[in-house]
Amino acid sequence: MIISAVNRFPIPAVLLTMTLFLTACNEHKSPTSEVSSEKEQNLIHSYAVPSEAKVKHLNWNAKVDFEQKIIGGVAEYLIETASDANRLTLDVKNLTIEHVFVDGEETKEWWLGPKDKFLGQALEIGISPETKNVAVHYETTEGAEALQWLKPEQTADNTDPFLFTQSQAILARTWIPCQDSPGIRYTYNAQVNVPKGLMALMSASNSIEIDSSGVYEFKMEQPIPSYLMALAVGNLEFRSIGENTGVYAEPSVVEAAAYEFEDMQKMLESAERLYGEYKWGRYDVLVLPPSFPFGGMENPRLTFATPTILAGDKSLTALVAHELAHSWSGNLVTNSTWDDFWLNEGFTVYFERRIMESVYGKSYADMLKVLGQQDLEHTLEKLSDAPEDTHLKLSLEGRDPDDGMTDIAYEKGNAFLLMLEENMGRDVFDAYLNQYFSENAFKTMTTEQFLENLKMDLFDGDEEQYIALKIDEWVYGEGIPDNAVVVSSPLFGEVEKEMNNWLEGKEAERMKTEDWTTHHWLHFLRSLPDSLGQQQMHELDAAFSFTTTGNSEIACEWFLRAIENDYAPADDEVEAFLIKVGRRKFLMPIYQALIEADDSKQRARNIYQKAKANYHSVSTNSIDALLK
């Protein structure tokens, strides 16, 4: 294994001879069990060789230059080495490496491997088994896919520039050299220099006020994987919500955000009652400008969130419960590779809905479950020609891990856990999950380790139960096994009834919708017949003002119906939405609908032309593929 890894690219002859010699000599002495378990673990999307040298701590000292759009600085690693270690391997992508120091001495013994489209390059640094400390001086480039540099006019307040990072899945390596595998954890300290007047925040301990010096210090004392490295810089304010919860946002947004997330402390306390102590100290949310490509990102201590969940009525805060739940499923017990992504997301969706149930009641959580089930059915249809991508356990080797980030991990994963809950009983299942989180805290988990744990701890070693519940079929098979729990929502029954009344001639204005929440409306809009007449679209819009709604989820669902039904009065709003919002979950279906409505793709292309500058690379990559 070591030989093949070394031979991936040319290495100076002296070192190569030495390496081969060492390898040959130590073939049997090397910690083979460690090496082979590392190999079994198969890092898949990282060049790191942690069995040889592993990063345990990072000191990051950086300067953020908005003029040049560059982050430059020094990443210093404290490492743990094997007795035969001769190199430290880091992942880098599109970085300029300037100098490398080993235990304080500059070294020329470092090499960049060949470039891979997804993985970037290996940065190999010659070390000895005694090496304690390696420092890399570097700068980011235009190719830093994790970063989005925003002009003032792309922010809410229009006054200052803004920068944020998005590292998951394998983009941390585009702004910090790192061992970029979710299976490798380290602690970090950082000192970040930003233009005066701006605030810098990280996935770590944070200030609550702008520091006039522009210099910020951070500490993350719990070991985290690299995909949870995060930085944001902008004109930000903080509002406290509860004892250890709060929100950061631009000044014009912060009050609305504090109102929207008022129940955050309650969510945190519910989560702790469900699955044990919160291990990260504070839980804050940062509301980003609308180009943020995701709904939320569970950066430890500081969730990054889209402003599109600020609906004004707290109706879209399941997203906060979701990111909070990741503080257990994902950040505490972490998927070992991106093939095991469902362990992060499926558990988190299940946990999110348990939090929502405990704060807002069962009928609320049931609506979320049914909407999730609809998403799953839709995804299964879309994946009908790639059935292997409907397995919970994926095989993403050689592919962009982004390919695996579908609703399968989220909703099939959740359906699997709902099946376990129903068959074992909620109390038993909760006790099991509590134990799972506490025993595996700050560790990584493969799908196979989880299944073994399930067999031993939930089924008490009972093989028959494992077979009866079709566990392998759920994890390694296609689609949804026939023992899935049927989810239903009585509240949605009422929505269907009113919709049928309307379809049979009752005026839209007279429908009984006074008590409907965002989720009722989403079900209504999703359940409409495939094709509606102009008169019907006008009538709905006149009665419920869908085209001008301030609720992003309702807007997205309505825009899809508008595009499918050629409803021109929504055209301007569709375009304005696509230009303002960069959240991929909304962009993809809307662009897809535009393409389906017009074979030439011209309308989609025209809008994309105007909107593209506002999107993060995660979103442009997906839309480029769609428009190809």
Binding mask 286-325 for Zn ion (x = CB under 5 A): ----------------------------------------
Binding mask 534-573 for ligand BES (x = CB under 6 A): ----------------------------------------
- Between vectors from CA 63 to CA 74 and to CA 150, what angle results, nearest 5°? 130
Candidates 133-141, 318-326, 484-492, 511-519: pick the segment binding ligand BES (CB under 6 A).
Answer: 318-326
Q: With H, G, I as helix, E, B as strand and everything else as coil, classify residue 508.
A: helix
With CB under 5 to 8 Å by kind, the binding choice for 169 among ligand BES, Zn ion, none is ligand BES
Query: Going by C-beta distance under 8 Å and a sequence separation of 6 or more, which residues neighbour residue 99?
Result: 106, 136, 137
Which has the closest alpha carbon to 350: 289, 287, 424, 430? 430
Is residue 378 a contact residue for ligand BES (CB under 6 A)?
A: no
Is residue 298 a contact residue for ligand BES (CB under 6 A)?
A: yes
Spatial separation of the C-alpha atoms in residues 379 and 372, rounded to whole Å: 11
Q: With H, G, I as helix, E, B as strand and everything else as coil, classify residue 571.
A: helix
Is residue 160 a contact residue for ligand BES (CB under 6 A)?
A: no
Catalytic residue among 145, 250, 260, 323: 323
Cis, peptide link before residue 169, omega less than 30° from 0? yes
With CB under 5 to 8 Å by kind, the binding choice for 218 among Zn ion, ligand BES, none is none
Is residue 405 a contact residue for ligand BES (CB under 6 A)?
A: yes
Q: Indicate the residue among 296 and 413 with the shorter CB distance to ligand BES.
A: 296
Catalytic residue among 410, 436, 567, 608: 410
Candidates 192-200, 282-290, 296-304, 562-570: pick the segment binding ligand BES (CB under 6 A).
Answer: 296-304
Nearest to ligand BES by Cβ — which residue?
Answer: 295
Q: Is 504 a catalytic residue?
A: no
| Residues that contact ligand BES, how many (by CB under 6 A) | 15
Neighbouring CB atoms inside 10 A of 606's CB total: 12
Of residues 225, 289, 296, 300, which one binds ligand BES by CB under 6 A?
Answer: 296
Is residue 295 a contact residue for ligand BES (CB under 6 A)?
A: yes
Which has the closest alpha carbon to 169: 356, 341, 354? 341
**CB-based burial label for 88 (10 Å; 0-12, 13-18, 19+):** buried
| Phi (first) and psi of residue 418, to 5 degrees | -60, -40
Q: Provide the angle, in degrees to the nearest 10, between the axes of the packed helices 584-597 and 617-627.
A: 20
Is residue 290 a contact residue for ligand BES (CB under 6 A)?
A: no
With CB under 5 to 8 Å by kind, the binding choice for 295 among ligand BES, Zn ion, none is ligand BES
- Report, in Å, the least distance between residue 326 CB and Zn ion: 6
- Report, in Å, the least distance between residue 66 CB and Zn ion: 30
Is residue 319 a contact residue for ligand BES (CB under 6 A)?
A: yes
Which has the closest alpha carbon to 235: 296, 286, 339, 161? 161
Q: With H, G, I as helix, E, B as strand and everything else as coil, classify residue 267.
A: helix
| Residue whose token pair is 């009422």 | 494
Q: Indicate the residue among 43 and 170 with the shorter CB distance to ligand BES.
A: 170
Q: Could you say which residues in the range 330-349 bind Zn ion, by CB under 5 A? A: 345, 348
Which has the closest alpha carbon to 263: 285, 233, 236? 285
Which has the closest alpha carbon to 495: 580, 374, 611, 585? 374
Q: With H, G, I as helix, E, B as strand and everything else as coil, classify residue 276.
A: coil
- Report, in Å, the least distance between residue 265 CB and Zn ion: 21
Query: DSSP secondary structure string, 397-419?
Result: TTS-GGGG-SHIIIIIHHHHHHH
Q: Could you say which residues in the range 322-351 bind ligand BES, by CB under 6 A? A: 322-323, 326, 345
Neighbouring CB atoms inside 10 A of 443's CB total: 14
Q: Is 323 a catalytic residue?
A: yes
Q: Give contact residues for ligand BES (rule: CB under 6 A).
A: 168-169, 294-298, 319, 322-323, 326, 345, 405, 410, 585
Positions marked active-site: 323, 410
**Which residues of the shown chain bind Zn ion in the complex (CB under 5 A)?**
345, 348
